[in-house]
Amino acid sequence: MSLNYIIFRNLRKNLKNYYLYVFALVFSVALYFSFVTLQYDPSMDEVAASTKGAAAIGASSVLLIVIVGIFLLYANTIFIKRRSKEIGLFQLIGLTKGRIFGILSAENSILYFGSMAIGVLIGFLASKLVLMILFKILGVDAITKLYFSPMALMQTVIVFTMMYLLIMLMNYIFIKGQSILSLFRVSATSEQQVQKMSFGQMIVGVLGIALMVYGYFVSARLFSGEAMDMQQLMYTMILILFSVILGTYLFYKGSVSFIFNLIRKSKNGYLSIHEVLSLSSIMFRMKSNALLLTIITTVSALAIGMLSLSYISYYSAEAQAKESLPEDFSFAQANVKNRFVAELEHKQIAYEEKHREPIYIEIDAHEVMDASMTEQYLFSSVLSDNMVDNIDVQPGEVVFMGYGNAIQQLISIQEKGPIVLHGLKHRLAQQLIGTTKHGVLPAYYTGGTPVAVVDETVYQQLKQDIDPELQKADRADYYGVRIVNEGQAEDAYAVYKEQQLEAPSFSQIEFRNNQRNTMGLIMFIVGFLGLTFLITSGCILYFKQMNESEEEKSSYTILRKLGFTQGNLLRGIQIKQLFNFGIPLMVGLSHSYFAVKSGWFFFGTELATPTVIVMIVYTLLYSIFGLLSVWYYKRVIKEAL
Amino acid sequence: MWILEAKKVHKVYGNKLNKQEVLKGIDLGVSKGEFVGIMGPSGSGKTTLLNVLSSIDRVSQGTIDIEGKEFTGMKEKQLAEFRKHHLGFIFQEYNLLDTLTVKENVLLPLSITSIPKQEAHRKFEQIANELGIYELKDKYPSEISGGQKQRTSAARAFVHEPSIIFADEPTGALDSKSASDLLGKLSEMNSTRKATIVMVTHDPVAASYCSRVIFIRDGQIYTQLNKGDESRQSFFNDIIKTQGVLGGVQQ
C-alpha cells in the first residue's frame, strides 16, 4: 500500500462529498468554454458585424472568470478546512508539510483537470445550443453547427490552469501557516460564541432596516422628484447604493437576529422543535456570515435587476417601436416616399398615407410644469388636429401627444392648465386639455418632447407667424405609410430593405429588430452571467449549509435521543432552510425591484410582466439549492443516531 | 536510562500583556518499557504537557530528548522524519481517516517508510490479531464501534514500532467495557512488546493500568506513584487517595 494508492483511494471516496464542487467546476468550465467558443465562432460574424457581439462577449467572459474565480477560491477554503484533520494526521505520522502539499496538489490536479476535461466536452456540445438560443433571441436565421475552436480551448485551459495555481498557492499558505494543534482545532473554532443580545445590536438591527428603507425611498424619487443635473444624479445614486448595501450588511449583522429575538422573547422560553432548529441557529449564523451574505445579495440583486431591465427592453421592443414611429414606415422626403409607395403598389400591398407638416415653436408651459423647469421654454413641434386621426380640439385647446414613459420622468406636465404658444411676434394663450402616450411624429422630428396638437385655425395662425430660426427644413414634412394588412408588413419591409433606405426614412420593423438585436445580445450576456452567478452563489450557500449540518450533528443526536423523530427534525430544518435561502433571496429581489422601478422607463414600456417572469425564473432555479441542502440535512439527521 | 527526558519545560500562552504560564518548569523522565499515566485536575496542564512531549506543540523553554535526540530545536523537516520513526499517537476522538479501511488506516504509518510490502502485511496481521481487529480489516471506520475504532487507532500507533506512544484520554469517549478492553490490550502490549506508553487521563481506573502515575497541578509535578508489585486494585486505591489530597475536582 503506497502513498499514491492512498491518494487515489482518498480521491475516489471524497468524490462523493465533493460532487457539488466537481459539478460547479464542470459547469464553470463548460460555461466559459462555450462562451469563448462563441467569440471565435465564424457564424457569429453576422451578429458581430451589427452589434459588436464579439467584443461584448469577450468583455463579459472576463467578468465570468472573476465570478467563477472567486467562487472556486471560496469553495476551496471550505474544502481544505474540512480536511484539516487529515492534514494534521499526515503530519503526525511523519510527513513533511511539503510532502502533504504535494499530495493535496496531486489529488486536486486529478480532480480539477478531470473536471476540466469533462467541462470542455460539455461546453463543446453545449456551444451549439447556446448559439441556437442566441440566434433565436436575436432573430438571426443562420444555421448553427458544432464548431470546435482550438483558440477557445487554449484560452480555457490557460485561464483555468492559472486558477488552479492560485488555488494551490492558497493551500500552500494554509498548510504552512497551520500548526498540528491548530489543524485539529480548526473545525472547533469556527463555531462562534453564543451571546446575549446587546443594546448595541438592537441599534444595528434597527439601523439596517432604516438604511434600506431610506435607500428605497430615495431611489423611488430619483427621476420623479425635482430634476437634477448629471452630477447630482450621480451623487444620489452613490448615496442610494451606499445606504442600501450598508443597510443589507447591518440587516444580516443585526436585524435578522433582532427580529428573531423578538419572536423568541414572545415565546417566553417555550420553543417548539421547529423553532429550536430554525430560529436559534439562524440568529447566530447569519451574523457571522454577514459579509458573505451581503455580497451574495448585492450581486444577485444586480443580476436580477440587469436581467429585468434588458428583458423589459427586449420585451417592449415592439411597443416602443410603435410609440416612437407612429406609422409602419416614415419618410421625410417626398420623392423617397413616392418611390417606395410605387413599389408597394407594384407588389399589390395595400397602404394608407399620412402627411403631416410640423412647425416648431417655443411654449411657455410653466403653469403646468414643476417649479424647477420654469426658466426655460419648452421647445415643441405643433400639428393641426386635421393631420391627426381621432382627435378634434376646439380653438384655444391643446393636446400633448407622444408624451411617453421616459419623457414623463424627465419633464413632468400636468394634465390640464394654461400654456402660451410663442410665435415670432404674437403669443397665443391656450388651454392644455390632456396628454397621451400615443405618438404622431418620430423622435427625429420632435427631439423627444411632446407634440402639441392644436385646432386648424390656431395652426394656420402660428404658421403665418413662425420663427424661421426654429424651423428645420429637412424636418418640415412627415410622410407616414401604414400597411393596411398587418400580414404584409414584412413584405413591405422587404421592399424597404431592397431600396436600401436609410434615415431620415424609418421602418417600425427595422427599429424593433434593431432594438431586439442589441437588447437581445445584452440580455443573453447578462442572462449568462446571471446564471453563473446564481449557480455559484447557490453552491456557496449550499456548502455553508453542508458545514453547518455537520457542526450541528451533535445537537441532532441529542434531540433524537430526547425522542424527536427524523420527521420532526426535518420539518424544523425545512423551515430553517426556508429562511437561510429565502432571506437573501427576498432581500435580493426587493433590492432589484426598487432598482428596476426607479429607472425602468428608459428601457421600455412594460414593467410588470418581464420583471415578474425574470424573478420567478430566478427564484425557481435558486430554490433548487435550498432543496439540495434539505436533502443533505436529511442524510445527516439519519446518520446522527 | 531514560527513553524520554524533559528538562525544565516551560510553556507560556498569550502575548506580553496577557501571559498565561501553563507549564512551570517540569522535569520528567520515562524509561524504556514503562507505562506512564499523567493525571491532574482540569486546567492543570496535563494535555499541554503531552502535546509538548509528543512534539505537536513547541516548548517555550527547556529541552526534551527522545532516545537521546533532542527535538525541541528541530526544523519542521527533521521533526517530520523524527515522528515517522519514533512516535505513535492515540487520540480521544480516534482521528481515523473515514475514506480508508481499517487495514489501510493501520498501515498508514508504514506506507511512508520504505518497508517492503510483505513485511508490512506481516506486521499488520500480528498487531491486528493482538488487538482483535483482524476480522474488521476491510471495514470502514463508519461501520465499526467506538471501541473498535480506538483499537484500530492503537494498532496504527503500534504498527511501526515507535520508541514511544502518546495517548491523550484514549478511553474518554468509550463505554467502560470497551475502555477496560482497550486498557487491558495496552498494558499487554506494554509488557509483551516492551512498548513505552505515556497516557493522559482523568480516569483513576484507566490510570490504575499504568506502572507509574504522575500527578500534575498548576503546571508543576505534584507527586508520583509507582505501582511496583501492588495489585491493580490497591494501586487504584492509592490513586484515589492521592487525588483526594490533590483536591482538584475531576471533570
CA pseudo-torsion sign A78, A79, A82, A83: negative
The 8-class DSSP code of residue A251 comes to: I
Å from B206 to nearest chain A CA? 24
Lowest mean pLDDT among A36-45, A74-83, A422-431: A36-45
Per-residue pLDDT tens over the stretch A149-184 = 888 889 899 999 999 999 999 999 988 888 877 777
Q: Best mutation site among B51, B57, B66, B83 for testing chain A: the one with the most A CBs within 10 Å?
A: B83
Q: Which of residues 116-155 of B touch A (CB under 8 A)?
A: 117, 120
The answer to whether residue B74 neighbours chain A at the CB level (below 8 Å) is no
With cell 405609410, the residue in question is A481
Å from A561 to nearest chain B CA? 17
The answer to whether residue A263 neighbours chain B at the CB level (below 8 Å) is no
Contact B83 A94 (CB under 8 A): yes
Q: Taking residues A481-499, report their average pLDDT.
A: 77
Q: So what's the pLDDT on residue A224?
A: 63
Lowest mean pLDDT among A597-601, B60-64, B192-196: A597-601
**If DSSP codes are grouped into helix, strand and coil, which group holds residue A481?**
strand
CA pseudo-torsion sign A270, A275, A277, A281: negative
Å from B17 to nearest chain A CA? 22
Which residue in the set A13, A91, A94 is minimally distant from B99, CB to CB?
Answer: A13
Which residue in the set A2, A3, A92 is minimally distant from B56, CB to CB?
Answer: A92
Buried b (16+ CB within 10 A) or exposed e, A165-204: eebbeebeebbeebebeebbebeeeeeeeeeebeeebbeb
Contact A6 B82 (CB under 8 A): no
Q: So what's the pLDDT on residue A580?
A: 83
Å from B13 to nearest chain A CA? 13
Q: Taking residues B132-138, report their average pLDDT.
A: 88
Q: So what's the pLDDT on residue A319?
A: 78
Q: So what's the pLDDT on residue B251?
A: 41
Contact A3 B99 (CB under 8 A): no
- Note whether A600 and A309 are within 8 A (CB): yes
Count Cβ atoms below 10 Å from residue A588 Cβ, excluding itself.
Answer: 27
Which residue in the set B57, B84, B100 is minimally distant from A94, CB to CB?
Answer: B84
User: What size, in residues, is chain A?
Assistant: 641
Q: Could you tell me the three cell numbers for B133?
A: 481487529
Average pLDDT in chain A:
79
Does ipTM top 0.85?
no
- Note whether B155 and B103 are within 8 A (CB): no
Å from A268 to nearest chain B CA? 33
Contact A97 B80 (CB under 8 A): yes
Contact A6 B84 (CB under 8 A): no
pLDDT of A193 strictly over 50: no
Query: Does residue A504 have a cis bond before it (omega within 30 degrees)?
Result: yes
**If DSSP codes are grouped into helix, strand and coil, which group holds residue B90?**
strand
Closest residue of chain B to A3, computed from CA coordinates = B111
Contact A3 B111 (CB under 8 A): yes
Q: Which residues contact B63 (CB under 8 A, 6 or more apart)?
A: B6, B7, B8, B9, B70, B72, B73
pLDDT of B103 strictly over 70: yes
Closest CA to B178 of B204, B147, B153: B147
Distance CA A146, CA A123 (A): 11
- Complete edge-to-edge strand list for the sheet that includes strand B87-90: B87-90, B164-168, B197-200, B35-39, B212-217, B220-226
The answer to whether residue A95 neighbours chain B at the CB level (below 8 Å) is yes
pLDDT band at B199 (very low <50, low <70, confident <90, very high): very high
For A607-612, the CB contacts below 8 A with 24+ separation are: A607/A312, A609/A315, A610/A308, A610/A311, A610/A312, A610/A314, A610/A315, A610/A316, A611/A308, A611/A311, A611/A312
Q: So what's the pLDDT on residue A60?
A: 77
Per-residue pLDDT tens over the stretch A268-291 = 767 676 776 777 677 767 777 777
pLDDT of A53 strictly over 70: no
Per-residue pLDDT tens over the stretch A526-548 = 887 888 888 888 888 888 888 78
H-helix segments, A552-565: 553-561
Q: So what's the pLDDT on residue B210?
A: 92
Strands B87-90 and B164-168: parallel
Q: Could you tell me the three cell numbers for A449?
A: 418632447
Å from A94 to nearest chain B CA? 4
Q: Taking residues A560-567, report their average pLDDT.
A: 78
- Note whether B12 and B60 are within 8 A (CB): yes
pLDDT band at A412 (very low <50, low <70, confident <90, very high): confident
pLDDT band at A52 (very low <50, low <70, confident <90, very high): low
Q: So what's the pLDDT on residue A366?
A: 74
Per-residue pLDDT tens over the stretch A591-632 = 888 888 887 777 777 788 888 998 999 899 888 888 988 988
**If DSSP codes are grouped into helix, strand and coil, which group holds residue B190?**
helix
Q: So what's the pLDDT on residue A168?
A: 92
pTM to 2 decimal places: 0.69
pLDDT of A189 strictly over 60: no
- Note whether B22 and B12 are within 8 A (CB): yes
Q: Taking residues B70-82, report their average pLDDT.
A: 85
Contact A6 B100 (CB under 8 A): yes
Backbone angles phi, psi at A331, to 5 degrees: -135, 145
Closest CA to A38 of A521, A614, A555: A521
Contact A1 B112 (CB under 8 A): no
Q: So what's the pLDDT on residue B36?
A: 93
Closest residue of chain A to B158, computed from CA coordinates = A93
Rounded percentage of chain A residues whose pLDDT exceeds 90: 3
Contact A94 B81 (CB under 8 A): yes
Q: So what's the pLDDT on residue A16?
A: 67
Contact A1 B99 (CB under 8 A): no
pLDDT band at B167 (very low <50, low <70, confident <90, very high): very high
Q: So what's the pLDDT on residue A269?
A: 65
Rounded percentage of chain A residues whose pLDDT exceeds 70: 88
Q: Taking residues A231-240, report their average pLDDT.
A: 80
With cell 510553556, the residue in question is B11
Q: So what's the pLDDT on residue A499?
A: 74
The answer to whether residue A7 neighbours chain B at the CB level (below 8 Å) is no
The answer to whether residue B240 neighbours chain A at the CB level (below 8 Å) is no
pLDDT band at A374 (very low <50, low <70, confident <90, very high): low
Q: Taking residues A197-209, report their average pLDDT.
A: 80
Q: Taking residues B40-46, report their average pLDDT.
A: 84
pLDDT of A426 strictly over 80: no
